[in-house]
Structure 1
Amino acid sequence: MAVPDRRPPGVAHLRPGENMPAHPAHRRAVTALTLATTAMLILTGCIGPTDPDHDTQVALEHIHGLAENPGTGGLLIASHGGIYQLDALTRDAELTGPIAGNDFDAMGFTAAGGALYASGHPGKNSPGHFGSGNLGLIRSDDGGDTWQNVSLAGEADFHDLTVSPRDPNRIYVNNFGIVHRSDDGGHSWNNGAGIDAWDILVDPADPDVIYATTSTGLHISRDGGRTFTLEPEAPRMVLIAAFSDGRLVGAGTDGQLVYQAPSGNWASGSELGTGLQALTTTKADGVIVAEDRGIRLFTSPDSPGQVLFRPDPHL
C-alpha cells in the first residue's frame, strides 16, 4: 500500500518490466490513513525508546495489519514495534506483546493457512537473521514466536501483501505501484500490472482473482495480476477484506463500511472514524478496524462498533 516515488531512502523500488530478483531462502512504511483525504500514506522509520510502556504506546500509534488469532480467538495487531495480541475479542481483553520481544516494524502483515507473513524493518530486539534495512518477505509458522526469511532480505520492503487461503504458494505484493506475484510461496516473483493501489486482496476461493482499491474505484484482475479492470458497480474503498463466503467488505471513502449483500449488491453499513489504518474480518463475519477511536469490532457491517482497545497516546 504505497504511492510510487514516495518511498523513504533505502526502500527497493522495482520498475515496470524489471523482474523482482530471486533470493536464496535464508500483510500496511507506517500507514496513517484518513478517509477525508482518501487515504494518503505517511511513511516513517523505526524508533526505539527505552521505556517498555512508552515503546508500546509508540508502536500502537501505527497499526499495519490485523488478524484474528485462530489459536486463542483473540486478535493479532501488527504494529510499528512488533506484533501485539488481545487475548479475546471483548472490551476487557488483555493486551500483551510484542510477541517474543521482537519489536520489528511489521509492515504488510497478513495471515493465511495457519501461517503469518510480513515485511518491514528489524527492531532493536529483533533476531540477528533479520539483518538490517528491509526485511523482504518473512514467514512465521508458530504464531509469531519465530520467523524465517523467505526472500529479498535487505532488498525489498513490502507495504501490502496478500496470500491465497486456497493456495498459500500464491502470494501477491504491491511494491510501489507494481503488483508482483509469487507461485512458490514467495521464493521467486513475476511482474504484474502497474496500478496505484491503496490495498490489495486475493479472492479467498480463486488464487487468480485479485482486488485492488484505488482512487478511481475497485479494480479486479482475473488473470493473476497481469491486468486489472474497473468494477463500475462497486463503491470506492480504501481498505478491503472478505467474509467467510467470499463476499467483500471495505472501508468506503465516504466514511462508512461498505459490503456485498448475499444478493451480490453493494450496501452501506456503519459509520467509521477517521485515521483508518487497518481492517480485517473474523470467522463469525465480524469486521475489525483500527482507527482514531481505537480498535473496534462490528459484529456485522450494520452494527454499532464496540471498542476492543484504545492505545494511550505517548507523550
Structure 2
Amino acid sequence: MSNIGRRRTMVPVVTLVSLVLAGCSSQSEERPQAANSNGPSVKLNPEINHLHGLHINADGTVLAGTHTGLFAVEPSGSTSRVGNTDDDLMGMTGVPGTNTVLSSGHPGRSSDAPNPLGLMESTDGGQNLTTKSLIGELDFHVLTSNGGIIVGFDGTTGLLVSTDSGTSWTAGASLPTASLAITDAGVWAVTTNGLQLSTDAARTFSVVPDAPPLSVVSAGTDGALWGVDVDGNAWRSRGGRTWQMHSSIGPVDALTASDYDNAYAATDQSLYALR
C-alpha cells in the first residue's frame, strides 16, 4: 500500500453519429466546414447516468463507465450492464487495444467496500473489477495507461505515477489536468495552460505549441491522438505536433481513440463515432 496521504473526491461522461471526414487542415490554416455538424443522433438508454469515461475493448465493444457501473454500448444506442458492480466509476479508462479496464471512484449501493475505491483493474473487459491499490485513500478523476505505466490525477494537487501496474505509486508533476493520454512521445495532459507534454514519465511538462484548446484527449493503438476542443470541434494528430480538424460535434464529456481513423466521443446522452 502506498503511503500517499488520504485525498478526497468529486465527479467527471452515447447516440451514434457517423462523422465523415471533411477537408482537413492543420490548425494554422483556415478551418474547413465540418461534416455532419449537429447531425442525426440516437438517444442512449436512460441508465447511462453521469458518464465518466470510455474504452474500446479488443473486440471493438465500446464500454462506458458511469455513476452506476459499467455498460456496453451498441451501435443502436442500446446498453447492457457489464459485470455486477454498481460502483461510481470515476476516472475510467483502459489500455488501448486490450481488455484491460482501469477505474476509480466510490462504492455503489450494493457494495460494502471502503470509500474511496482507490485504483481498480479488470483484465476481462470489465466483467470483474478488483482493487489494485489505494483503497480507502483516494479516487482518481483522470486516468491513463499504455500498459507500461499508469498516470492519474485525483482532483487535488498533482499527478501520481505507477510503473508496476498500479501496485505502488510515486508523485509526478504538480499539474491539475482535465484529461491524460500516453503515446511513445510521452504523457499528454490537458491543462488550463493548454495541451502539455512530458517526456520524463509525468515528472515535468511543457506546453505544446499551436495545439488546439482541447478539453479532452485520447491516444490510439498506433500512437495517434484525438481531441475535442472547448467549442466541440474534434481534432486528430499523428504525433501531437500538427493537428487536423475532423468535425464539429459539440462539447463532450469523454473520448476514446482506437487509431488515427477511429474514435468515439460521448456525453451521457450521445455517443459520436468519429471515422
TM more than 0.5: yes
The answer for the alignment partner of 2:25 in structure 1 is: none
Find the aligned partners of 2:231 and 2:130 in 1 and give their Cα distance: 40
The answer for the alignment partner of 1:188 in structure 2 is: 168
Paired residues of 2:256 and 2:265 also in contact (CA < 8 A): yes
1:286 corresponds to 2:265: no
The answer for the alignment partner of 2:72 in structure 1 is: 85
Query: Which has the higher relative contact order, 1 or 2, with Cα contacts under 8 A spaced 6 or more apart?
Result: 2
Unaligned segments of structure 1, at least 5 residues: 1-17, 23-27, 33-55, 300-315
Paired residues of 2:99 and 2:123 also in contact (CA < 8 A): yes
1:103 corresponds to 2:91: no
> For this pair of structures, how many residues does the alignment match?
238
1:261 Cα deviation after fit: 5.4
Find the aligned partners of 1:298 and 1:116 in 2 and give their Cα distance: 21
1:187 Cα deviation after fit: 1.3
Unaligned segments of structure 2, at least 5 residues: 14-44
1:63 corresponds to 2:45: no
Alignment-mate amino acid for residue 129 of structure 2: W
Find the aligned partners of 1:264 and 1:200 in 2 and give their Cα distance: 16
Superposition map of 1:154-233 within 5 A:
154-165=136-147, 167=148, 170-175=149-154, 176-203=156-183, 205=184, 209-233=186-210
Report runs of 4+ in structure 1 exceeding 6 Å deviation.
none
Alignment-mate amino acid for residue 69 of structure 1: N
1:200 Cα deviation after fit: 1.2
1:298 corresponds to 2:236: no
1:123 Cα deviation after fit: 0.7
Find the aligned partners of 1:277 and 1:187 in 2 and give their Cα distance: 28
The answer for the alignment partner of 1:120 in structure 2 is: 105
User: Alignment partner of 2:165: what SS?
Assistant: coil
Find the aligned partners of 2:165 and 2:187 in 1 and give their Cα distance: 16
Q: Summarize the Cα distance change of 1:183–1:154 in structure 2 as closer, same or farther, 3 Å threshold.
A: same
CA deviations over 1:122-160 (Å, ceiling 9, x no partner): 11124x5xx131000111122222222111111111111
User: Alignment partner of 1:220: what SS?
Assistant: strand
CA deviations over 1:37-92 (Å, ceiling 9, x no partner): xxxxxxxxxxxxxxxxxxx73x5231111111223x321111000001124xx3x3
1:283 Cα deviation after fit: 5.1
Alignment-mate amino acid for residue 119 of structure 1: S
User: Alignment partner of 2:164: what SS?
Assistant: coil
User: Alignment partner of 1:60: what SS?
Assistant: coil
Find the aligned partners of 1:142 and 1:215 in 2 and give their Cα distance: 35
Paired residues of 1:241 and 1:250 also in contact (CA < 8 A): yes
1:284 Cα deviation after fit: 7.3
Alignment-mate amino acid for residue 291 of structure 1: T
> Cα RMSD between the aligned structures?
2.6
The share of aligned pairs that are identical, in percent, is 31
Find the aligned partners of 1:194 and 1:19 in 2 and give their Cα distance: 17
CA deviations over 1:270-301 (Å, ceiling 9, x no partner): 11223x210011257312111376111121xx
1:248 Cα deviation after fit: 1.5
Paired residues of 1:121 and 1:134 also in contact (CA < 8 A): yes
Task: Name the TM-score, length of structure 1 as normaliser.
Answer: 0.69
Paired residues of 1:19 and 1:191 also in contact (CA < 8 A): no
Find the aligned partners of 1:161 and 1:285 in 2 and give their Cα distance: 23
Task: Name the TM-score, length of structure 2 as normaliser.
Answer: 0.78
Alignment-mate amino acid for residue 30 of structure 1: V
1:93 Cα deviation after fit: 5.4
Find the aligned partners of 1:60 and 1:93 in 2 and give their Cα distance: 10
Paired residues of 1:261 and 1:267 also in contact (CA < 8 A): no
Structure whose residues are more often helix by fraction? 1
Alignment-mate amino acid for residue 101 of structure 2: L
Give 1:76's match in structure 2, choosing from 48, 56, 63: 63
User: Alignment partner of 2:70: what SS?
Assistant: strand
Q: Summarize the Cα distance change of 1:19–1:224 in structure 2 as closer, same or farther, 3 Å threshold.
A: farther
Paired residues of 2:231 and 2:250 also in contact (CA < 8 A): no
